[in-house]
Amino acid sequence: MTFSHRQTRGIEAANANIIGSAATFWRTGVDMVKQRGPGALYVGIMPRLAYQVPSAVLCWWTIGAIERVMGQWAKEQRRQKALEVAPLAS
């Protein structure tokens, strides 16, 4: 099992507060750039995107579908209320 550069610093970050954790995160990035150059920050980006993008698409598609269905339902509810109120006004 291989660990990411960040995972090897886990104990140090776990013992720190939020500021210490942020500092550890920053130092890790600086160390990675020093050792392997700026490209080290992008190692593994394609597999990560291949993993994350389909689930994000599914999530946002579901949200959009629910908005469309609920929008149609709300429009129908408003129309029905308008029909109920209209005879009383005359």
- Greater confidence, 80 or 57? 57
Residue with more model confidence, 53 or 11: 53
61 alpha-carbon distance from chain centroid: 14
Cα-atom radius of gyration of the chain, to the nearest Å?
Answer: 26
Supply the DSSP symbol for 38: G
Q: Kindly report, residue by residue over 17-68, the tens digit of the pLDDT.
A: 777 778 888 898 999 999 999 999 899 999 999 999 999 999 999 999 999 9
Query: What pLDDT score was predicted for residue 65?
Result: 96
CA atoms within 13 A on the CB side of 72: 5
15 has pLDDT over 70: no
Residue 10 pLDDT > 90, yes or no?
A: no
Burial 44-54 (b: 16+ CB within 10 A, else e): eeeeeeeeeee
